[in-house]
Amino acid sequence: MSNYDARVDAYIAKSPDFAQPVLNHVRTLVHEVCPETIETLKWGMPHFEYKGLMCGFAAFKNHCSFGFWKTALLQDPHGVLKGHESTAMGSFGKLLSLKDLPSDKILKALIKDAMRLNDDGIKVAMGSRKSGSIKDDISEPDYFTKALSEDAEAAATWKHFAPSHRREYLEWITEAKTEATRTKRVIKTLELLREKKQRHWKYQ
């Protein structure tokens, strides 16, 4: 059990009831296919390492996700990998139950292929990452920069945040469908920044 991380147990336990069977299932499959994998938390979410980052999952209020770090390079003969750009969507879109996952056979093949990529030391070219990985830099919208300029305490936290932590907030804000939702997310972001909290602080 040395490759298991108690923080991942806690993350799953705190996740919504519908998500727990999905997260437990993919966790079991990853360890079954890759016994050498090591669990960890990155960006507040569980990840599996094997000679580098390999895959990870996340739970949200209304869906969960499972994604590979090098989705763009995986062999996908069954066409199950999605083209979502958000890390919240993972490599298979929004998952609401086990039925939304590909078959175990397909998932195991993808995990083996992800292992192969790491075995071979193959890197993902800048700008070519798909879902399941952290996106490259996102431009900071002018409206958010202005909001920060009016909140010194939040701006101070933002200045010292790692790029990955900034991305999590910027993705959440810029993916808002309406201006009203975007405004609410900006306000919430400033509130959390004043408290020096990362986007997914609840899972840390």
For residue 72, give the 3-state DSSP assignment: helix
The span from the CA of 27 to the CA of 16, in Å, is 16
Rounded to an integer, the average pLDDT of 178-187 is 90
- Residue 141 or residue 34, greater confidence: 34
Q: How many CB atoms lie within 10 A of CB 79?
A: 7
Mean pLDDT of the chain: 85
Residue 2 has pLDDT above 70, yes or no: no
Strand order of the β-sheet with 45-49 is 38-42, 45-49, 53-59, 64-68
Q: What is the pLDDT of residues 72-82, one digit of tens each?
A: 888 888 899 87
Closest CA to 195 of 158, 145, 146, 149: 158
The percentage of the chain sitting over the pLDDT mark of 90, rounded to a whole number, equals 53
Report the DSSP beta bridge partners of residue 58: 65
pTM, two decimals, is: 0.62
Domains of the chain listed by start with CATH number: 6-119 (3.90.1150), 142-203 (no CATH)
Rounded to an integer, the average pLDDT of 93-108 is 94
